[in-house]
Structure formats: C-alpha cells, structure tokens
C-alpha cells in the first residue's frame, strides 16, 4: 500500500508564528512594565496578610499594606463604624475590591462591569444588606429607599429576585446581580435599558438620577451568598426578607383601587391622579374595552396585543370581577364629570389621545416608545390618511384596532364627539380636506400559478428580515440600528393581522406605507412573488411552522 506524502506547509508559516508570539510577549511585557512603573504599591515594604471571617468563610486581604488600621488613602483614620469593627469586617466586606491583589488597579476592582469596584462614601451602604436582613437600617437609607422603589415601580412583576414575596418570570434574574455589575453599570441599565441589548423589552422608566442610583444601591446588595442567611436557609430558598408597607394610606382606598395598587398596575399605568408614565391610561378603560377583555388581558396580555411589554399578572376569578367593576364604575364617573366638561375637540384630544399620539400629533407621545407598536403619526402624514376612506377612519376610532393599544371609543364618546375629534385631527395635524382621497392604484391580480411556500419563505428572508426580523417580530437589525419610527410591524401579531384583509396587506407590500419605512416593492417583485410574500405573512401571523 503506497503511502502518500503530505504536502509541507509554506515556508512563511513558521516565521509568522514566531513573529506573532514575539509580538504577544512584547505587548504583555509592556503592560507589566507600565503597570509596575505607574503603580504606587510599596513593593519594597512589608505586605500585610490578614484573614477575617465573613459568614463562616475565611477571607484573606492585603489591604492594610497601604491602609494601616483601615486608614484612608490620605492617611486619615477610618471613620467610626460602631457597633462594627474594622478588625472583624476587614476591608473587602464593605468596600469590595480584590483584597489579595498586588496591583493598585486590580486591588481597587478590575475595569469592565465594575462588579468588584471599590465602594466609597455613601455607596458603601450597598454592602449593608449583604449582611443585614432587608429592613430599615441606619446608614443605609438610600439602599432602603431603592428597595421600596424597586417594589413600587413593579420591577418584581418582571424580574425574579429570590426572597421577595412576589417574583416575576419574564426578565433576567436579579438575585445575584450585585456579583456581576457595579453601581454605575446598574444605573445605566435602569435609565437606558435599550443601550444593551438594543432590542430590550424593558421600558424606559421616568426615574430621576437619584432614584435610579438608590435602586442600584439596593441591587448591588443582591448576591449569591447573602451573609444574613444561613447556608440551610439558602439551600431551602427560604425568604428572610421582611414584608414592607409600600403604600401608606392604602386602607382608605376602595377594594378595586387597592387591587390596582397591590398588583403594581399604577407602577406603569395612569389611574386618575396616579401616573406611572409607562403604560396607557386606565382611567377610562372600563368604557374603552369589553368586560371580557379587561378580565382576560392581565393574565395573558400577549394573546390580545402581540409583542406587548406588559408581563402577565395573575388574578383570581374574584380579583377579575373586582377589577372589571372598579374600571367600569370609574369610567362611568369620569364620563359624567371630566369628559362632560370637554367642550371642544382639542380638550378631548388632550384627555384621551396625546398620551400616545403626542400633543403635537407626531406619534411620539410620553408612552409611545413603550407600546408594542408605535402610535400613528398625524402631523406630516397627509398621504397615509389620503389613502384611507373616511369610513375606515370612523371605524378605527369607534371600534379600535385589534391587536394594538388603540381602543374603541364608541361607548365613551357619542358619534357627534367622535366627529369632533376626527375634524380636529385634520384641522390641527393632518391638514387638507378630510374627504379628499387619493385614487388608489390597482392591486396585482392573483397569479394563475402560485409559488411554493418555501419560495415565499426565501423571499421573506431576502427582502424583509432587515426590518421585520427573521421570525417576523419587527425586531430586525435595521429596526434597532436605524431606530425606525414607527417601528416595523410585528407580523406575528395575530390579533392585528387577522383584522387586515388580503387587499390591505397586498397594498402595503406593493406600494409601501406612507409615513413609515415600509417601501414599495412594485418593480422589484413580480405578481407571483408579491402573493407569495402575502401567504408568508399570513403564515407568520398564525404562528404556523414552515
């Protein structure tokens, strides 16, 4: 049997490997040299080696090499922390850092996510609740306030966090988030959730810098090894966090109002004078939605509004009836009082529409970014409304748009008041004659021979995923990168797509949608391809497998 000779590698491969290794060693040497030359660590002095006991775990530290007896960087003595003692807690128990490091930068916490970054001054209270049970504590007022805000804002409705009475299941687990992120990184994640990941479903909460930092101080105390819990309690997942009265005066509320508060609905939604400034106004919802819708929506919101950011809220049958009763009675009262005083269309608009569509009609209202689908812009969007018949506009206002946050106003507003509102939209925002419509071009006829379903899927992947995403959820790479407004349509939203006729979808694919980033594919695609895309959109909307 002949043995074939393997070809020798090119002569330049070995020198390239040697050069790469030499470059890597040079970079490493430079880093070490720069670190030593710029490091004020007293390498020629004694290195302290202290062992302390934290929660039954021995912890070694070199910190007192530079900070004798816990002195500060300027040589000042450590502040009095009675009843604690630095000899018992050491340094890293409160300040964090890397106690065994022999490099100034590393010992003060490696750069990056800041998980072990040194805590200074009032930020040290982030460590208090690593040892102490979560209850009011002198010196940890900001972290305690952060805990209260965490619950009041309904964070526990989405995020799991061990030890709380209520814990969500829709967002990242924050049980040990303090082990992974620093305070500054936590503040950024709270105030700018879309920074990373760019398609985050977490809404942007209207929090001040101080409020966000207080929440971050509380979250920084969440660790996988809380020192106030015994190992057996941790093993059994037993909660040692104390219940807290979050809503003083709640005993004066009606049972329905207390339910809205207890279920954290007001943490996001507006209800009369309370406003979470995240979600739609619930004040009028009792006359905007059916009783069944109001009862079913909290338990399974995505079934009625595809892609909604709202988490599921578990309600018993008794709580459902109580919720519906409260919302209906409140809407009836407002219809007879507040709405009765709205004499003009602009008054109705500011009461009922501006929260989503904005006071200037540009579709960027205070809560617009938090909705599953951006509200329609009225201003500078004449072409869109010129393509819609007046009957279609009246129907949208009276019955709402299925699968979206747009409710029907038929029960809340009389036909005369709905006409008043439509007239205002054209006069104040859209412009032009309300009844002047563009002549719509012909739609491509249904081809005699249809393309296969596989061909439709391939066309979708070729032409549509940049905006609508590979699975059709409207979260394609261009949607996030270009921050398209309004965002691309979520094609998996069954409620919305079922309410659209084939002709409506064909028109959108063929001629585009004015006022959006949806382009016309006329000329780029033939009749067979356009109809194949229509069938693929229908498949996506029904959740059918390829």
Structure tokens at 60: 């070694």
Phi, psi for residue 176 in degrees, rounded to 5 = -125, 30
Q: Which fold has domain 345-429?
A: Cytochrome Bc1 Complex; Chain D, domain 2 (1.10.760)
> What is 355-414 written as a DSSP string?
HHH-TTSSS--TTGGGSSSPPPP-TT-HHHHHTS-HHHHHHHHHH--TTSS----TTTS-
pLDDT at residue 51, rounded to an integer: 83
Are 128-221 and 246-341 the same fold in CATH?
A: no
The three-class DSSP label of residue 60 is strand
The three-class DSSP label of residue 525 is strand
Q: Name which of 381, 545, 376, 527 is nearest 472 in CA terms.
A: 545
Tell how far CA 231 is from the center of its chain: 34
Domain boundaries 128-221, CATH class: mainly alpha
Sign of CA dihedral 232, 236, 242, 246: positive
pLDDT at residue 194, rounded to an integer: 82
Q: Which fold has domain 246-341?
A: Immunoglobulin-like (2.60.40)
Instruction: From first to last of the 546 residues of the chain, give the pLDDT tens digit.
Output: 444 455 666 777 688 888 888 888 887 777 656 655 555 555 456 777 788 877 777 888 888 888 887 777 777 888 888 888 887 888 888 898 888 887 777 888 877 788 889 898 889 999 999 888 888 999 999 999 999 999 999 998 899 988 777 778 888 999 999 999 999 999 999 999 988 777 788 888 999 999 999 999 999 999 887 776 655 555 555 555 655 567 766 778 899 999 999 899 999 999 999 999 999 999 999 999 999 999 999 999 999 999 999 999 999 999 999 999 999 999 999 999 999 999 999 999 999 999 999 999 999 999 998 999 999 999 999 999 999 999 999 999 999 999 999 999 999 999 999 999 999 999 999 999 999 999 888 999 999 999 999 999 999 999 999 999 999 999 898 887 777 778 899 999 999 999 999 999 999 999 999 999 999 999 899 999 999 999 999 999 998 776
Cis preceding linkage at 83, omega within 30: yes
pLDDT at residue 4, rounded to an integer: 46
Contact present, 63 and 107 (Cβ < 8 Å): yes
Tell how far CA 105 is from the center of its chain: 33
Give the CATH superfamily of 453-542: Cytochrome c-like domain (1.10.760.10)
Distance between CA atoms of residues 204 and 223, nearest Å: 25
Contact present, 310 and 296 (Cβ < 8 Å): no
- What is the DSSP code (8-state) at residue 62? -
What is the residue extent of each domain of the chain? 48-69+86-109, 128-221, 246-341, 345-429, 453-542
């Amino acid at each position: 049997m002949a043995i074939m000779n393997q070809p020798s590698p090119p002569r330049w491969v070995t020198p390239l490997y040697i050069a790469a290794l030499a470059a890597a060693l040079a970079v490493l040497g430079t880093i070490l040299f720069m670190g030593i030359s710029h490091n004020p660590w007293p390498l020629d002095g004694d290195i302290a080696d202290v062992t302390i006991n934290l929660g039954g775990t021995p912890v070694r530290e070199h910190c007192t090499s530079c900070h004798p007896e816990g002195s500060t960087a300027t040589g000042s003595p450590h502040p009095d922390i009675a009843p604690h003692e630095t000899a018992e807690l050491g340094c890293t128990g409160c300040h964090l850092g890397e106690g065994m490091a022999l490099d100034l930068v590393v010992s003060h916490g490696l750069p990056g996510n800041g998980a072990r970054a040194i805590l200074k001054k009032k930020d040290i209270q982030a460590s208090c609740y690593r040892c102490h049970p979560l209850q009011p504590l002198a010196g940890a007022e900001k972290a305690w306030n952060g805990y209260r805000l965490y619950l009041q804002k309904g964070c526990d409705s989405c995020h799991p966090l061990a030890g709380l009475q209520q814990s969500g299941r829709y967002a990242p687990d924050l049980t040990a988030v303090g082990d992974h992120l620093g305070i500054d990184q936590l503040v950024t994640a709270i105030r700018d959730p879309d920074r990373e990941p760019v398609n985050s479903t977490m809404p942007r909460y209207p929090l001040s810098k101080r409020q966000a930092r207080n929440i971050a101080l509380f979250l920084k105390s969440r660790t996988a090894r809380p020192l106030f819990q015994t190992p057996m309690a941790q093993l059994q997942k037993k909660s040692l966090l104390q219940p807290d009265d979050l809503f003083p005066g709640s005993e004066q509320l009606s049972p329905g109002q207390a339910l809205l508060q207890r279920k954290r609905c007001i943490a996001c939604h507006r209800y009369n004078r309370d406003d979470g400034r995240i979600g739609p106004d619930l004040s009028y919802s009792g006359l905007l939605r059916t009783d069944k819708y109001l009862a079913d929506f909290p338990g399974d919101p995505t079934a009625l509004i595809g892609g909604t950011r709202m988490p599921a809220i578990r309600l018993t049958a008794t709580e459902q009836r109580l919720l519906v009763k409260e919302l209906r009675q409140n809407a009836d009262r407002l219809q007879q009082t507040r709405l009765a005083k709205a004499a003009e269309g602009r008054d109705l608009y500011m009461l009922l529409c501006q929260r989503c569509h904005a006071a200037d009609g540009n579709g960027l209202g205070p809560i617009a970014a938090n909705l599953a689908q951006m509200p329609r812009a009225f201003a500078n969007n004449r072409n869109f409304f010129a393509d819609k018949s007046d009957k279609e506009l009246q129907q949208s206002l009276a019955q709402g748009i299925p699968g979206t946050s747009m409710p029907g106003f038929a029960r809340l507003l009389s036909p005369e008041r709905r006409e008043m509102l439509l007239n205002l939209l054209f006069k104040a925002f859209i412009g032009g004659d309300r009844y002047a419509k563009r002549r719509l071009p012909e739609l491509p006829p249904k081809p005699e021979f249809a393309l296969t379903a596989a061909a439709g899927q391939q066309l979708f992947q070729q032409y549509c995923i940049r905006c609508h995403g590979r699975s059709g959820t409207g979260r394609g790479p261009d949607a996030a990168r270009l921050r398209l407004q309004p965002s691309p349509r979520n094609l998996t939203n069954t409620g919305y797509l079922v309410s659209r006729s084939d002709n409506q979808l064909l028109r959108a694919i063929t001629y585009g949608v004015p006022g959006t980033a949806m382009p016309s594919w006329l000329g780029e695609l033939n009749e067979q391809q356009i109809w194949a895309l229509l069938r693929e959109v229908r498949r996506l909307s029904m959740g059918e497998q390829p």
